[in-house]
Amino acid sequence: MKKVKDLRWKKRISVNELVEGLGNVGFQSSEMKKAVDVILKMKKSGAKVFFTYTSNMVTSGLRGFFAQLIELGMIDVIVTTVGGIEEDIMKSKGEDFVIGNFKPNDIELYEKGVNRVGNLFIRNESYLKFEDTIGKMLSVLYSKKPRWTPSDMIYEIGLILDDKSSILYQASKKKVPIFCPGITDGALGFHLFMLQQKHNDFVIDVVKDFSKILFSTSHDDKKGLISLGGSISKHHAILACLLNGGLDYAVYMTTAHSSSGSMSGATTEEAKSWGKVKDDSDVATVIGDVTFTFPLIMMKVLETLDNEGLLK
């Protein structure tokens, strides 16, 4: 049985050494090290890796790191919410988001045309520019054909973008499908609605996309999930894997707790009662803000794989 060991600083300590040391501290630090081990097993076993995240992750500076993980071949299938699509496009077009604070005068921000996501500020002008950009993109897509699945539409948009820090760009380049089951739940959804008012043969086929994510894997595949946050993006990937025999590996990272009964707070252990995660699978649930837990975990994973000559 592993014993608790005191963490100590030393000069020029690496991320690898830091996370290794945190693994002996206890509480969520130890669970974080466990998540590293599960992801390493996931990759070394050749499992198909599903990666899910909510849009606030893209609002933050994690966006470029996600794009890098795709570029490095760490991810096979992505599921996200529509804000994660919108804000990736916005940043690809040069829009900057600002770090403010968690307790501003929100009425004053509204009067200034500033929207707040936690301590991050987004100007109304950014959305206005996005609406102009996406309107033109959708017109080009409609000229090619009237019926699209969300994943095919997102793939085509990724081909248009020219930004190495873009999730959509890297996913299209690497042919990693991005699924967005809640495609209408945002500004993009409004523009899809407006295009359909102009062209009643324009259709976004979410059912066809459900078929595509189901057939992106099989009962014979080893399947792994890295889920950041919760909501529809988390469950959509889990459901696809459940219908294909369940997950062999799962890492959940969230600030939610299981006591709420929510999908966001549901643990990997709870998932076993549904068959979403196999009863003998390797799992970890890390409770904490992914803006620091996820980079620490994944940089340790990347360094380990690189040292072993396993990083593409």
pLDDT in tens, 29-40: 999 999 999 999
Instruction: Identify the pLDDT of residue 1.
Output: 80
Q: The tokens of 15 are what?
A: 């991320």
State the amino acid at position 178 in one-letter form. I
Element (H, E) at 33: helix 27-44
Q: Extract the residue ranges of the chain whose pLDDT is less than 70.
A: none
Identify the pLDDT of residue 277.
85
Residue with tokens 């990736």, as numbered in its chain: 88
How confident is the model at residue 218, as a pLDDT?
95
Can you point out the beta strands (E) in the chain? 48-53, 77-80, 98-99, 114-117, 120-123, 147-148, 178-179, 203-204, 223-228, 247-254, 277-287
Continuous segment of H or E residues that includes residue 301: helix 290-307
Cβ-contact 230, 264 below 8 angstroms: yes
Q: Distance between the two ends of the chain, CA-based, in angstroms?
A: 35
pLDDT confidence of residue 270: 81
Does 276 participate in catalysis according to the annotation? yes
Are 114 and 88 in contact by the 8 Å Cβ rule? The answer is: no
SS3 of 146-164: CEECHHHHHHHHHHHCCCC
State the pTM of this model: 0.95
Tell me how crowded residue 221 is: count the other CB atoms within 10 A of its CB: 16
- pLDDT for res 216: 96
> Which residue in the list 33, 91, 212, 276 is annotated as catalytic?
276
37 with 22: CB under 8 angstroms? no
* Contact present, 24 and 3 (Cβ < 8 Å): yes
**Position 239: which residue type?**
L
- The CATH fold assigned to 34-95+126-307 is Deoxyhypusine Synthase (3.40.910)
Under 8 Å between Cβ of 223 and 217 = yes
Residue with tokens 């998932």: 271
